[in-house]
Amino acid sequence: MATNLRKTDVVIIGLGATGGVAALPLAQAGLDVVGLEAGTWLAPADLSPDELRNNFRGWPQSVQKANREVPTHRSSATAPYSPRPAIHPMMNAVGGTTLHYWAQSWRLNPWDFEVVSETRRRYGAARLPKGTTVEDWPFGLEELEPYYDKVEVEIGVSGQAGNIGGKIDPRGNIFEGARARAYPMPPLRGTGFTEMMAGAARSLGWHPFPGPAAITSGRYDGRSGCVYHGFCNRGGCHVSAKGSTAVTTIPKAQRTKRLTVVTEAHVTSIDADSQGRVSGVTYRKGTEEFFQPAAAVLLASYTYENTRLLLLSKSSAFPKGLSNNHGQVGRHYFSHNQIATVNALFPRNLNTWYGLPAQGMAVDDWADDNFDHGGLDFIGGGNLWVYSDRRPIAAANMSTFGRAPRWGAQWKAFIRENADRGNTAYLQRTTLPYEDNYLDLDPTVKDPLGFPVCRITADYKDNERRLADFIQDKMVQWYRAAGAVVTEKTPVGTMGPTTHAYGGTRMGDNPDTNVVNRWGFSHEVPNLGILGASVMGTSGARNPTLTAQALAWRTAEHLSQNWKSIAG
Amino acid sequence: MSDGGQPGDLSRRALLGRVSAAGAFVALTEVLPPGTSVADAQTRRSPARGPLEALTPAEAVTLEAIAARLIPTGPDGPGAAEAGAAIYIDRALAGALANFRDAYRAGLASVDAYARGAKRAPFAQLSAADQDTVLADMERNTATGFEGGSASFFALVLAHTVQGTFCDPFYGGNRNFAGWDLIAYPGVRLAVTADQQNLDAKPAATHMSAYDYSMFSGRKPAHGH
């Protein structure tokens, strides 16, 4: 039998990127918050510069809950299962994946909020791809702008503004939507390589700029500036320059004395009463089971687990899973069209042994609808990104561009000469939801507790494939302009488990096609809010975290400001 | 591992001490001329073998010979043998990569069986050219007698040999920073200056393990694994 705990105001399931942000405005508003986190606290000394451990052995995820429930994947309802990764792309810990993410912290651009109406207006409705279920967001960028701003200040985002109140600054992204003010810190510094790439982009008439990062470019809010040591990518930050919620919003919320952090809490269900309201959350800690009653619940795990927990939480009021009486939980799933990239080989050393993925140069000229699609056969676009980041095992595993075998004396001679001459771009592209891309519960694969894992049924469609090819060609052009002697395009891949997973609990005004309303609260369960990229209906051409965090702050603020009507 | 320092502390002295054992192990097959039996070599150099944690001595001999062809020693510098890649794999098979122990047991036996069939001697006793032929057959998946195909075992050994040559030396490979020096990786630093990120900068090699730094020496992963 579960031990009944004392009722609290709000339970947050998951203290990662979004739950860790939402805790702060709730606690500051004087609400008592219990944060249930499956992982533990990690200290800076746990985040060592160890490529083998961080990048090849899945640490610090290795003994984590997420690894025991990696989603299964098939590219369609009739396709065989894809090989199942041994390691979940996300991690459990206080701070979640913000501990080891790249920390690129982009705002979406205005077009991303109105893909349907803008495509109709500019090119005609026929240009919306067949089978897509994309909708306009229930609001535009201007509604989210104040929340982007709050999060940028709280977690410490560095960057160069390109548009403050409509005034364009060519040092930043001239295509971005209007910001109320500059970033709280200047951008991370450039490197010899990123400046070389910026020059090449300008020679093509493009508009390169340093991207925004939740990483300090100098001392900020008591935290050190970035030290550029080179193990940021799936490693953590030993000087807390990375703005993980574990070193920003969560400790700040704890200082209000309103946030209780419960670690190693494995949530198994969100419980609903017969009136269709949630009453609390059941979780296991070790071998014990607890029931934490609450006036409101915020579900903030991750896209896959958000859908899974809802589908597992069945009750008389919700026989198909919590908040699923309209059959929308798991629908409108998509993962970011970011696999297809370009490798390049230069005739000189690039000295990119140090740095971090967020220390880079962006081009947005081919993102979103920043260019005319009139003569093209796709909608949307991509963000081109090059950065300074290399570690020795990855360097040895570089592409040989068909110039050497994969082993032996010739291979050794190749990497000896070229280990510091390769570069691989990061190309994020618009991805749309489709009718037949979805999440559900796997009928046979279960976690160690006997609960089905999440199953992904999804693949990229023609729009994503054509767009990938177009963006790769732009990247080839950029590398060539910078002096690359050979380039190669990599395949588009498929939609297996990923760090950029969207949908499943989409936000929108229509309850027939969306799980949560414009405030992030369930259309069916008035005191259940859902946080994360699972509520996003479009991807944009950039990392989702800052948008998910801005939405989380907004949902939390809405809850505190409408406490009586929501929490009863 | 204990060197009389703080419990759990990986001091530089301890690191070097362990590397010496690894070096002795590597030396065994390095000096084996083609045609010399392993037993002969063991008789001559038996005190030199370092402690194996997962592999049998015969398996270690075959694995070391494979690694020495994947990343060969040559005029352009040391290879997987000097880096101790096989030591890395042995330790890992007793820890983080224990799931692959059976694959190595079966795969290394298959390598020797295929070598005997195709070239009339166990792999370690073949000439370098014949060894390369066997490995190329494995890579092309045309070597027979491998459960699950020779290509998958080849890919597994290649991936682990690369890890063992270029990983942090804490894990028993990359001995004397042979792998990092081969590709001119300037090494683990806890902070990097703007000048060190210039195109023409050549930061000096630090020759430090992550766990040589005091901040991390108390939080190292389980011994060698």
B7 located within any domain: no
Mutate to test the interface with B, among A407, A415, A423 (most CBs of B within 10 A): A407
Q: Do B202 and A415 touch (CB under 8 A)?
A: no
Rounded distance between C-alpha atoms, residue A183 and residue A169, angstroms: 13
pLDDT average, residue stretch A548-557: 99
pLDDT cut 90: percent of chain A above it: 97
Mutate to test the interface with A, among B165, B177, B199 (most CBs of A within 10 A): B199
Tokens of A390: 């290399």
B223 located within any domain: no
pLDDT category of residue B120 using cuts at 50, 70 and 90: very high
pLDDT at A568: 85
Instruction: Please report residues of B whose CB lies closer than 8 A to that of A40.
Output: none
pLDDT category of residue B221 using cuts at 50, 70 and 90: confident
Q: Do A351 and B168 touch (CB under 8 A)?
A: no
pLDDT at A61: 63
B1 located within any domain: no
Reported ipTM: the value is 0.94
- Summarised one tens digit per residue, pLDDT across range A358-409 is 999 999 999 999 999 999 999 999 999 999 999 999 999 999 999 999 999 9
Rounded distance between C-alpha atoms, residue B218 and residue B225, angstroms: 15
Instruction: Please report residues of B whose CB lies closer than 8 A to that of A232.
Output: none
B194 located within any domain: yes
Closest in A44, A350, A395 to B185, CB measured: A395
- Summarised one tens digit per residue, pLDDT across range A420-466 is 999 999 999 999 999 999 999 999 999 999 999 999 999 999 999 99
Q: Do B185 and A419 touch (CB under 8 A)?
A: yes
B133 located within any domain: yes
- Round the average pLDDT of chain A to a whole number and report it: 97
- Summarised one tens digit per residue, pLDDT across range A327-362 is 999 999 999 999 999 999 999 999 999 999 999 999
Instruction: Please report residues of B whose CB lies closer than 8 A to that of A408.
Output: 69-70, 72, 132
Rounded distance between C-alpha atoms, residue A386 and residue A389, angstroms: 9
Contact with chain A for residue B195, Cβ under 8 A: no
Q: Which domain holds residue B131?
A: 12-217
Tokens of A102: 């790249």
Instruction: Please report residues of B whose CB lies closer than 8 A to that of A350.
Output: 199
Residue A106: C-alpha distances to residues A61, A109, A153, A183, A329 (Å): 25, 9, 13, 11, 27
B4 located within any domain: no
Give every CB contact of residue B105 below 8 A, 6+ residues apart in sequence: B59
- Summarised one tens digit per residue, pLDDT across range A118-130 is 999 999 999 999 9
List the strands of the sheet with A426-429, edge to edge. A209-210, A360-363, A382-387, A426-429
Rounded distance between C-alpha atoms, residue B133 and residue B114, angstroms: 11
Q: Report the first-to-last Cα separation within chain B, whole angstroms.
A: 12
- Summarised one tens digit per residue, pLDDT across range A21-71 is 999 999 999 999 999 999 999 999 999 999 999 999 887 665 579 999 999
Rounded distance between C-alpha atoms, residue A437 and residue A454, angstroms: 13
> Please, what are the domains in chain A?
3-567 (3.50.50.60)
Rounded distance between C-alpha atoms, residue B90 and residue B172, angstroms: 9
Mutate to test the interface with B, among A46, A52, A57, A348 (most CBs of B within 10 A): A52
Domains: count for chain B: 1
B 150-179: CB under 8 A from A: 158, 162-163, 165-168, 170-171, 179
